[in-house]
Every structure is written in structure tokens, then in C-alpha cells.
Structure 1
């Protein structure tokens, strides 16, 4: 049976943390394909950020170009700000016999009970959850503390998942989840945008093609 996963987000910009999540999930769960779903909009985003949606997609395409098992969700499948269910239904129709997964960070996963139509989404796939926390490891500075950091994040992430599972069960939805075994990398798109706007290097946080794209298109200046 084919194994297909979604990895969703705004990816503004896509960074090594996103790519590591996809790579670790692919390796640990023998995924055949990872479909990247770029969020068109969310209510708290400003109009100026929404205007560069296509650039977010272009950056994801660049970052995943060397991975034939990574691909972008077609543009017309996520027309609305709350399109998680549409993305999942698209995958169901695309691969009717596939086992479906959703790769997600723990911080986003804990908001699942608040997602529109979460009752429909929760049980349709298996959730592969990556930890993030203050005990994480800086990109480029991962040393001997990794094992203890991983243990701490694993415990925290399992707790988050258990709480979410309990909340969803109150809606009569039973979810399946597993925690990705990986170090929590302290990098976010918002911090990358801030670093770049301050003239600081982001070369250790994003692939070279993404840094070049940001410079060429004068993003986040």
C-alpha cells in the first residue's frame, strides 16, 4: 500500500526545519510521497503577506526540486483559508488505496481541536508529530546535548499528543498519532524574516536557493 503524507504551512519562507521534518518522516515511516500544501491565507496574516502567496509556493518548489518524492499540492485544491479538509480529501481522491499521513509540528497539532471541520479531519489520517520547544537545538550548533534534548522534546510532544487525543475523543473522534524521532530545531519562518530584515545571515537556516530567491525578489527587507 502506498504511503502518502501532507506537510502544510505558509512556508514564508520554507527552511531547513520544514525539510528535516519531511525527510525524517519519510525515512522513519517509509513514505512514498510527501505533498506540500501551502496555506493561501490565515486570518491573522496581513494583506502584504498574502500578496506573496505564489512566492511561497515557488520557494517550496525550489527547496524540494531535488526530491522527486516531494511535490506541491495543486493550486486549485486549497482555495480557502481553512482548506485542511480539502487537502486531505484531494489526497484521498488522488490515491484511493493509499495510507494517509499528516506531518505537523507539535505547536500546530495542539490547535487541531480548533480547526474548522476537525471532526472530519482527525480520523482520516495518521498524524506524525514533530516536537518543538525551548529545549531545542540551534541549527548548526547540534552537539553532545542532542540526546538529552531529544528525550526532553519526546516527553513534551507525547504529552501534547495525549492531550489532543483526549480533546478529540470528546468529539467522538479517535485519532492515530506517532512522534517523529528528531531533534527539535529552533528555527521559524518569522525569525528568518526578522534576521534578514536586520541584515543578519540566514544561510545556515535555509537552502542556498531560498536565500538567493529572497535576495533576488527583495523579500523581507
Structure 2
């Protein structure tokens, strides 16, 4: 999909968030930080725990590349996807247990990853929808429009790191002002965009002005989606 199409989709979806209660343009710009997997890994894991997944793989050319090809390569190496591009939970848990164990002192990080996966699994396609919404703003960084690789693994990895960072074990968190601010942004955006676990009542109560996320009227949905459908039909 070309950059222009991502830009168009973003412009058509953007009003959904702007018109949601509690969201404005400054919120939208801040929420793009949830797509910066490198920054998330820098703050939770101190920039090296996310590299453990490279063990035994041939994916080192993507060591500093946080685009789709990095994660597609790594997820293939660990055989994490089934035929329907769903995460094999047993395989994922085995990988995490192997990489982050009490033996190397990073068991809590591994537990946070497993919990984050449960959250992402519960969210279903919500995170992917969020990526589509923001892709036009950060396409040059994500490389979605030009990459030869599929985005499924990257989207899952982004979702993981958002929730791992939000609930990062204290010993693995880089407690700088920038990272503390990032946690606050994640907390706010996760609530406002309905990207947090339903049962996390404490987080929901911490931001009473967050609104109800993605709820929109059927009429507005039609107004936004009809022109998009017409344009896509002419591609």
C-alpha cells in the first residue's frame, strides 16, 4: 500500500479520535509514541533485553531496524505464528521462559511479557486498528508502505512493548524523566484509545477524562467509510 493511501486512511480515520470525548490533536500527536518500539525497549529493558530474542537467529542484519522485517524474521525464527497469523501461545511462552528466566535475573521481565501478550490477545484487532490510524503520521519510521515484509509480527511486538513498558518491572525500568513521561503518555493513550485490559479498573479510574474510546455513531461511520470505499475501488 502506497504512502498516499496510508495518508488518506489516516485522514479519514482521524476524526474518529478527534470527535471522541477527551481527545484533541495534541493527544493524537503524543500517542504516536506508542508506535516507537525502539523507545519503548530503551525505557523498559534498558535497550538490551529486547535483543535477547536474536539468540540463535540469522536476523542480526535487523539489529537496529525496528521495522516490519526485523520482527517478521524473529517471529519466523521462533516459529511464533500459526497458519492464520495468530500467535502460538505455547511457543511464545516457551520462548519467553527460555530467554527471561530466574537464572539470568530477568524473570520479572518475562512475566511482564506474558501478561502483555494476554492483554494483546484480549484486545484482538484494536492495536492493529490503532496502527492503521497513525501509520500515515509515522510511515517513514515504520516503513509500512515500502517494506517487502508483512506487518503482523511488528504489530504484535509493538502491542507487547506498549504493555510491558506500561507495567515494567522496577528493576528493568530506566527511571529517567523521558521514560517516566513515556509511561504517563502510554497510560493516558491506552485508556483514551481503549487499548488497555478491561479489568484494569485502577488505570481506568486514574484518568476520568479519558472518554469512551472508539464509540461513534453509525451515521458518522457511514460518512467516513463511504468515501474511503469509493476511493479504494478505483485503485
TM-score normalized by the length of structure 2? 0.28
Which is richer in helix? 2
TM-score normalized by the length of structure 1? 0.29
> Which has the higher Rg, Structure 1 or Structure 2?
2
Higher RCO (CA < 8 A, seq sep 6+): 2
